[in-house]
Structure 1
Amino acid sequence: MVDEKKTINLDVAEIDKLFEEYRKTKDINLRNELVNRHLYIAEIVAKKFINRGIEYDDLYQVACMALINAVERFEPNKGYKFTSFATPTIMGEIKRYFRDRASLIRLPRRIYETSAKIKLATEILSAKLKQPPKIEEIAQYIGITPEEVLEVMEASNNYLPQSLDQTMYEDEEMTLGDVLGKSDENLVQIENTETVKKAIDKLSPLEREFVQKRFFEEKTQREIADEMKVSQMYISRLEKKVLKKLKDLIDETKAPI
């Protein structure tokens, strides 16, 4: 029993060691082991996007491919945990997948670039003016005529299907990263972190303690069971319950008004 506990306590250090070894050898077996140990991250992130028109199996496949990419790119000597690196990476890849599927017809380059400028200008002016900007204000900010703004907005709407996650003027959670050509992983991470924090705050004290140990301290189910003086089966059931509860809470937060 003592030897088993020592092994458990070394899990985090062991993972770091595996990453260091993989960086040196690029051994496919090491990569597969690292991916298998972190598949739960792909599952959690993929489930956040269900009921948005794409099957969960497809989302999970995209998340797993992003997880593999995260394993290959992760540098343990940077001083942060792999979970903190992998989560925004997977999130960004799934959002790109949604964006690519939404682009049924590719916009002309001029329309596409101007549309991106309009969306960015709208975000900046909305924050500055505390209200949706007028067409004339957007045109002046970008340096084009109001007629050109209207032309590009109309063209964009004709080429792209409308989405509840894609808004131009409504004052709600920002989704600019979902429609721009390049995803800002820092913004994705902030959005994800704030959403999860709000959901965690609604958990019971016991559930919050479990989340802290399992996903922030990266402890195993057996280690948590030993600390909480319960069976590993209880912890396993608790994890399923907490993940489902978090998913429901996050879905409520993300639900369109």
Structure 2
Amino acid sequence: MDLSVALSLRAQATLIELDGVLDYASVPYLRQVVYERFDTGCHDIAIDAAGVRLIDAASIKVLLYLGQRAEQAGGQLRVVNAKGVALTALEIAGAAKELDAYAELFWPAAERTRTPVDLGTLHIGHGHWPVGVSELLSRVYSLDPADPRRSRLREDIVTMCLPAAKQLARRYAGSGEPLGDLMGVAALGLVKAVDGFDPDRGLEFGAYATPTVTGELKRYFRDRTSAVRLPRRLQELRLQLNHAREELGPTASIPDLAAHLGVDEEEIIEVLAAGHLQHPMSIDAPTGADEDDATVADVVGADDPAFGLVDLRVSLPAAMAGLPERERKIVALRFYGNLSQSEIAARLGLSQMHISRLLAHALDYLRRRLTD
């Protein structure tokens, strides 16, 4: 991109000095600079185009749109000092007079601070959305719902914005999901953005549509592409982790990522482990053994015979509570202490025959309680 931007500020006015080429690739950055000035309440803006060597039709359209927005807010946006090819382009497009290109710029050189703008730090969240969509949507909502022009205009807006929505979908092209499916999801998000946009709030349509479309894409990945749905806390931390990897590089260690995000290392490990669990392995997947075609199902263990005893183990303590204390002790010494009847008789001071009768009575009682 061949464009540099410098700002000079007054109390209620802004001078934007351009140097380079103003085209489809660079004009979104100029538009973002102007939007930020609008956000501060400054709508009196002069663009000094003396250093602009070339300007294309897309840029002229954006400049006209910005001029309309400034005028609606009670201000003015002018493009002055254009020369050569740039001025000729403005004249051919019929925009030179509308942008007040022939007016003199009363801004002495001594008052120009010329603060350079780092275009690389600008967030171009809606730079590729067509201009004028907000005004078209205002027309849509001004029409009666039964008016056939309303539905036709709405369809035209969706068609006009569809390339920008598809461009957002292409950001996720390397995710493993079919690009056609992603574009369909983006188109659905675009329709939601068109139907949910409120022109009265004063926002640009792109500022609303971009998070709406990307949110629909993220919801698709969250709900449709994972066999196991992660808690929201892990989902959000995983997105932050992906951004941290882009900033720190693929070789960043877990301590580096944890320090960058301000979280514990255990949380990073949890997110990494959870990511692998989102796509469980099929039991029909091969084990990788060379000698045969064994699958995961072939090496899964058999049923544990102890499973059948779970009910009895849960029911036995309640049944044991119904026995007299001496019989409970005899059962415990026999089956938990592994003592013989003679050893139990010697420990309790009873005969072996008496121990046998008490044990038989206790086992009969337990059998009846457990079978019932």
Q: TM-score range by the shorter chain?
A: 0.3 to 0.5
Larger RCO, structure (CA 8 Å, separation 6 or more): 1
Q: Normalization by structure 2: what TM-score?
A: 0.29
Kindly indicate which of the two structures has a greater share of residues assigned to strand.
Answer: 2
Kindly indicate which of the two structures has a greater share of residues assigned to helix.
Answer: 1
- Which entry has the higher C-alpha Rg, 1 or 2? 2
